[in-house]
Structure 1
Amino acid sequence: MNRKTQTIVQFFLGLGVLLLINIVANSRMGGRPLYGALDLTEEKRYTLTEGTKTLLEAQEDVIFVRVLLEGEFPAGFKRLQSATREMLEDFHSESPYIEYEFYNPNEGTVDEINTRREQYKEEGIVPVNLRVKGVEGTSTTSIFPYAIFYKGERSVYVNILENEIPGVPSDVVLNNAVALLEYKFANAIQKLNRSYREIIAFSTGQGELPPIQTADLEKELRTYYDVGRLSMDSVAVIPQDISALIIAKPTRPFSDNNKFKIDQYIMNGGKVMWLLDRVAVDLDSLQGRPEYYPKPYDLNIDDLLFRYGLRFNDDLVQDLRSTRIPLATGMLGNAPQFDLFRYPYHVLALPQSNHPIVRSLEAVNLFYPSSIDLSPRTKTPIDKTILLMSSDAARYQKLPVGLDFDFLRYDLDPNKFQQDSLVMGVLLEGTFSSMYENRLSPENLAVLEDIGVEYQSQSVPNAMIVVSDGDVVANPVRPDGSVVPLGYNVFEKYQFSNKDFLFNALEYLLDDGGIIQARGKEVRLRMLNNERAEAEATFWRVINIATPVALLLLFGLVYFLLRRKKYGLVNKRE
């Protein structure tokens, strides 16, 4: 074979290898790609969780994703754009039914842009103006940080940025947004795939919060669920088609029959969120009184909660990490003058866990919470995960205690706040034991027999959430009857994470595919040392320019010496 023929053969062999690699890279077997990728990052940021993979592998219909992040953005949001594209590519690699495009909503004529924005506004999609400080100064841009998921006639929109924080978005906020992309996208796909809407019910009959005070959370939930009210006295048993029951700040005792209904609902797999006030006190009850002695609520459910593994302490938690309230400090003419004072009974519970429910959340604003004791032993093993707790500068006051505002006129003494880790919110998971085991009354047994339901002494694997503050779910209401967003503190004029916490908690309770684990994914932010980068800039520029040239020269020298050695030997033989 002469040299020319050998060259042609080598060319076609190389072409065939490239063609084979291309075919394999784009082939799938059983819905799975024949290629893979190696994730070398410490936190496995490019590896999808098992729940997400299972969801995508089972996908049988096309889901089209339109991301409204096309265009030029500052560096921080360019990273968010790139991360969104990479995440959708990972989704597509797991399922060819995931299709996507990036779309710029700011393109077109002024009329087209305005019309488009009005359409988006009707769907709850509004642009945000963001100022980002970079190396060259501060820039301002208006973007739509949303992805819209379509399946047939149905659609779900996802807020990619999520946390709308006043002022300049920090790198941490953007990093959290990147970390939550997988969960948000998988959650949207899961909701589109469901052929039914799960039901969430707020209990009534025990003096719970009225609808106007839970309106904001209900509005948020109705995007994905059917939400209603359930009168405990109107049903023989709590229907099992209710996926979750929210008990929001009851103020009257539960009857034994209603306790039995809740117990059997839990035993049959029903999810319960207990949002309870232990002490009957609020800010209005202190107005116009020199001193007020609050009493604990008698809800008649202590034995039920004890059976499930916890009890409420008869106390009030105080924390130096708290919000402020206004108090009159004087008069200006005929008008009173108000100043804001830090009020330790309005606690800021900053989540300190990496659990998916609270990961990346800001503080949750609680009002007159009590501490929760997790020491009660249960008949069956129960995992107890603390979700909300006090700071290391807290304390508790045992009842009875007199409450007034006089102490706020003096600086709070840190030496009196030496307690830490007081529990105010907990997740219970496991197989629960019925409180009525070996003590089932003939009346309760007759009710079950009448409707053909069998008594359960032990639950299927289940979960519930308990928070020692009923007002955590209560949105403020203006004098004109309009609703203030849940978590917004009207005195501090700041939006806390109450709604995000409750929504995440319900998502966790109702998640049966494991995709909530993606919410606990960590994407670490490795910050650039600007001072060191500036000091070593010249050195690294020289390295980046000189190294490729040096390597090229070295390669040329080695190549020359090898050729000289090879052909020198040939000439000598000849």
Structure 2
Amino acid sequence: MYSLFRKEINQFFGSLIGYLVIAVFLLSTGLFLWVFNGNYNIPDGGYATLDGLFSMAPWVYLFLIPAVTMRMFADEKRTGTLELLLTRPLSSFQLVGAKYLAALVVVALSLLPTLLYFFSVYQLGNPVGSIDTGATWGSYLGLFFLAAIYLSIGLFASSLTDNQIVAFILSLFLSFFWYTGFDFVAGLPIPSGIAETLSSLGINQHYESVSRGVLDSRDLYYFLAMVGLFLLLTQISLFWKRYSKKQAISRLGIYIVATTFAAILMTNHFFRIDFTAEKRFTLAEQTRKIMEEVDQPAIVNVYLKGDMLPAGFRKLAKAVKEKLLDMNVYAGAPVHVQFIDPYQDVKPSQRKGYFDSLIDEGLKPTDLRIKTDQGTSTRLIFPSAVVRLHGHEVVVNFLQNDPSLPAEENLNRSIELLEYQFARAFRVLMQHKKQKVAFLTGHRELSQWQVKDISNALSENYDVVRITPDDLLAAPDSFRAVIVADPEKAFPERDKFALDQYAMKGGRLMWLIDPVQVSMDSLSEGMMTLAFPRNLNLQDQLFHYGVRLNHDLIQDVQCRMIPVNTALTGQPPKFTPAPWYFSPLLMPSQNSPVGKNLNRLMADFVSSLELVGENQDVKKTVLLTSSAYSRTTETPMEVSLDMINEPPARELFTQHYIPVGVLLEGKFSSVFKNRMLNELHLPAGMKPRYESPQTKMMVFSDGNLIANKVHETPKGVQILPLGYDRYTKQTFGNKAFFVNAVQYLCDDSGLMELRTRTVKLRLLDKVKLREEKLKWQLLNLLVPVLFILLFGVVFNFIRRKRYAH
């Protein structure tokens, strides 16, 4: 067997065609990866990854591997040496195995020079070495498995004929069909169960999984089973005259039945190895549990597809596909994913109406400026998906857009949140009854119109209601969370007791309190107003829970711009944007699942808060702060728009990250412990509780953070989106933040923790690429080819020297 193995190696590398085949493979690969414009081009993509190589390799291998295997048995048949081999003391397994291993070594040697691509991307990374090494080696493993199947198919094709050209064409056709043909058939209008089975027989589904850097035991078994199948077919083909038809069919039947039975056993008993640095393809336990509860086939339509997509959005689309593939692995019923190109889905004349229908459904489009041969064009894309299950649907919008961040960072944030967004969508679709979230009333809190936008956003997951403290006393267990939104009237003790007892029974509270009163109407009309402390009779209660609200106002260098009339007296108004330090742009904590990957929050007249008390049973986490350049001013004080013309000295903004929002988690004690309760006139038979179970509450020192702007128009009330600044036309992160905050309060499954997952942004050094692009192109084009040529010279020199005597 070893002698035959050496013969095959010597024969391949002893002929010019062997080097020509490998050189053409390396040259074509290098051109597509480093020179030609397109989806595979590494410098144009801008990311430190070899995804282009692993995406292109199955198609390049369709020509390389048949060229390697076409002569292995066909040439033996043509020259008559096959009969000689069959008379040697070699079993069918040894004969086929020797040739197969030789072909495998040849292909492995052809892959060796491509490690230069890895070195180049490693050096071009920003910083150097930012490529995910583990994922790359895992992808190379997948490429090796792909080559293993192609080689076994090539050997089988070569055993069927004595013509090398026929063997090449037959091998190419069979490999192509096995790679993508099953997917094509599965796409026909056939039952979904049959389609899933057919798709699983093709190479594409399994190679896509492994080429990401994830080794699933079922994929590994598939590759080994398919290699074994074609090697068995090759043996039967070669030794057809030695076997009776009954023996051949029997051997083949036993193999198929045994492998099928083993595949069924592995369906529910498998393991996965994630080679990626951040384990980004390993689903959290919360996600697995949600997917295991999927009891009916689900449909996910993804609208992020098209040949014109830039590299960043192609990467996002690939991440969406991979995430859904991972979730389908654990799903109790199949998850059918379809990628849709909105531009190809309808005729151009119907496109506008189709786009409007998608927007009305909840999909958020974004404009892209795309460079083409004819110039620059604007294209509307929908980075969104619609998940359908149980006759209902949920829209998932992927793109996280913070205008202060570069596009690559926003797209990476979008990728980080994919698992959370899809897991949340499936949980919403499977919940049978919505929990109630209540806004407290009775103390001149924000009106239903002022919280209309956040209420609409929360209504997807919850029943949003408005209640009084008496409702809370009567049925505290009816409400999952209670929001106290910007009260203006002092709380009587009975109402405080209702909130306290709600917390003592495990209820979740969100306090949005303004400790300082400022009249915005007076400011806008008279240029000056007075800011003075507001007494809501809540300071003692919040202090007891662990928070003190200060009677001050924060001024921040990072603030909102407002229009100011800068025209001289008597001239037409001329409005110029100017910084208004009393409108800080608050920073959500990136270490918390509530604020991670969110835009800053818009605020007006915010006070500071402090964490107090030493209750070891309560964990305190700051959720929201000012910037690193801020300060506090004590009240009462005059506030005037004239301050814009005479701003405080920059040196005064020395306070860093002043807290304005905090999360409290743990066991709380009652404010009313050891107090007489007779004067509260409690319901008969009510027994107060003085210690709470594990629960949560949030405190914010600005009540208007959750309020949307309301405008009266002749056509009715106009509701502006929460966080929308009509002067800069920018939407800040208020709505997303408080939707997350409510979900965190109501969530005990740990689903919100998925928002803290991090995927490192791996980019190429654009400056180095711009200055050294030609050098790296020549290096990756010429060096691999020169390596093969040098190998050929050395190999043949040693071979001639050995056999010269």
1:204 aligns with 2:441: yes
**After superposition, where does 1:5-44 map in structure 2 within 5 Å?**
6=90, 8-10=92-94, 18-19=224-225, 27=263, 32=268, 34-41=270-277, 43-44=278-279
Structure 2 stretches lacking a partner, 5+ long:
2-83, 101-151, 153-221, 229-258
Shift of 1:76: 1.7
Single out whichever of 491-500 and 115-124 deviates more from structure 2. Answer: 115-124
Shift of 1:411: 4.1
Match of 2:719 in 1: 483
Following the alignment from structure 2 to structure 1, what is the Cα–Cα distance between the partners of residues 500 and 300? 42
- Provide the secondary structure at the position in 2 that maps to 1:122: helix
Match of 1:259 in 2: 496
Cα shift readout 1:9-61 (whole Å, capped 9, x = no counterpart): 247778798217896999476974624132332x3333322322332234333
Are the counterparts in 1 of residues 364 and 397 from structure 2 also a CA contact under 8 Å?
Answer: no
Match of 1:75 in 2: 311
Shift of 1:360: 1.2
1:286 aligns with 2:523: yes
Following the alignment from structure 2 to structure 1, what is the Cα–Cα distance between the partners of residues 392 and 340? 19
Cα shift readout 1:395-417 (whole Å, capped 9, x = no counterpart): 11122223223332124311222
Following the alignment from structure 2 to structure 1, what is the Cα–Cα distance between the partners of residues 684 and 263? 56
Single out whichever of 53-62 and 198-207 deviates more from structure 2. Answer: 53-62
Are the counterparts in 1 of residues 601 and 732 from structure 2 also a CA contact under 8 Å?
Answer: yes
1:417 aligns with 2:653: yes
Shift of 1:436: 2.2
Cα shift readout 1:159-216 (whole Å, capped 9, x = no counterpart): 11143859x9722111111111111111101111111112111110011011111111
Single out whichever of 170-179 and 121-130 deviates more from structure 2. Answer: 121-130
With over 3 angstroms needed to count, the CA separation of the structure-2 counterparts of 1:24 and 1:218, relative to structure 1, is farther
Picking from 379, 390, 395, the partner of 1:152 is 390
**After superposition, where does 1:103-118 map in structure 2 within 5 Å?**
103-107=340-344, 108-118=346-356
With over 3 angstroms needed to count, the CA separation of the structure-2 counterparts of 1:98 and 1:11, relative to structure 1, is farther
Q: Which amino acid aligns with 1:48?
A: L
Q: Which amino acid aligns with 1:494?
A: Q
Cα shift readout 1:401-446 (whole Å, capped 9, x = no counterpart): 2322333212431122212221111111112222223336246695
Picking from 64, 71, 76, the partner of 2:299 is 64
Rg larger in structure: 2
Picking from 398, 418, 429, the partner of 2:634 is 398
1:538 aligns with 2:744: no
Are the counterparts in 1 of residues 589 and 623 from structure 2 also a CA contact under 8 Å?
Answer: yes
- Provide the secondary structure at the position in 1 that maps to 2:622: strand
Q: Which amino acid aligns with 2:492?
A: S
1:464 aligns with 2:697: yes
Cα shift readout 1:78-114 (whole Å, capped 9, x = no counterpart): 1111111111111122325333111222223235545
Q: Which amino acid aligns with 2:426?
A: I
Are the counterparts in 2 of residues 353 and 386 from structure 1 also a CA contact under 8 Å?
Answer: no
Single out whichever of 499-508 and 13-22 deviates more from structure 2. Answer: 13-22
Are the counterparts in 1 of residues 364 and 384 from structure 2 also a CA contact under 8 Å?
Answer: no
Match of 1:437 in 2: 673
Q: Which has the higher helix share?
A: 2
Are the counterparts in 2 of residues 238 and 265 from structure 1 also a CA contact under 8 Å?
Answer: no
**After superposition, where does 1:244-323 map in structure 2 within 5 Å?**
244-289=481-526, 292-323=529-560
Match of 1:387 in 2: 623
Q: CA RMSD, aligned part only?
A: 3.3
- Provide the secondary structure at the position in 1 that maps to 2:522: helix
Are the counterparts in 2 of residues 386 and 426 from structure 1 also a CA contact under 8 Å?
Answer: yes
**After superposition, where does 1:127-276 map in structure 2 within 5 Å?**
127-131=365-369, 140-163=378-401, 170-276=407-513
**After superposition, where does 1:481-520 map in structure 2 within 5 Å?**
481-520=717-756
Are the counterparts in 2 of residues 325 and 340 from structure 1 also a CA contact under 8 Å?
Answer: yes
With over 3 angstroms needed to count, the CA separation of the structure-2 counterparts of 1:137 and 1:271, relative to structure 1, is farther
Number of aligned residue pairs: give it.
Answer: 563
Are the counterparts in 2 of residues 249 and 470 from structure 1 also a CA contact under 8 Å?
Answer: yes
Picking from 343, 347, 369, the partner of 2:580 is 343
With the length of structure 1 as denominator, give the TM-score of the two structures.
0.88
Following the alignment from structure 2 to structure 1, what is the Cα–Cα distance between the partners of residues 676 and 783? 82
Structure 1 stretches lacking a partner, 5+ long:
none
Are the counterparts in 2 of residues 445 and 455 from structure 1 also a CA contact under 8 Å?
Answer: no
Match of 1:370 in 2: 607
- Provide the secondary structure at the position in 2 that maps to 1:47: coil
Following the alignment from structure 2 to structure 1, what is the Cα–Cα distance between the partners of residues 779 and 742? 54
The structure with higher relative contact order (CA 8 Å, sep 6+) is 1
Following the alignment from structure 1 to structure 2, what is the Cα–Cα distance between the partners of residues 440 and 63? 57
Following the alignment from structure 2 to structure 1, what is the Cα–Cα distance between the partners of residues 774 and 302? 39
Are the counterparts in 2 of residues 245 and 271 from structure 1 also a CA contact under 8 Å?
Answer: yes
Following the alignment from structure 1 to structure 2, what is the Cα–Cα distance between the partners of residues 164 and 400? 35
Q: Which amino acid aligns with 1:129?
A: D
Are the counterparts in 2 of residues 346 and 368 from structure 1 also a CA contact under 8 Å?
Answer: yes
Q: Which amino acid aligns with 1:83?
A: A
Shift of 1:501: 1.0
Q: Which amino acid aligns with 1:524?
A: K
- Provide the secondary structure at the position in 1 that maps to 2:753: helix
Following the alignment from structure 1 to structure 2, what is the Cα–Cα distance between the partners of residues 295 and 412? 20
Cα shift readout 1:306-349 (whole Å, capped 9, x = no counterpart): 12111101111111111133444446758554443322111111
With over 3 angstroms needed to count, the CA separation of the structure-2 counterparts of 1:492 and 1:71, relative to structure 1, is closer
Percent same amino acid among aligned pairs?
33
- Provide the secondary structure at the position in 2 that maps to 1:438: coil
Following the alignment from structure 1 to structure 2, what is the Cα–Cα distance between the partners of residues 9 and 350? 67
Match of 2:338 in 1: 101
With over 3 angstroms needed to count, the CA separation of the structure-2 counterparts of 1:440 and 1:547, relative to structure 1, is farther
With over 3 angstroms needed to count, the CA separation of the structure-2 counterparts of 1:562 and 1:406, relative to structure 1, is same
With the length of structure 2 as denominator, give the TM-score of the two structures.
0.64
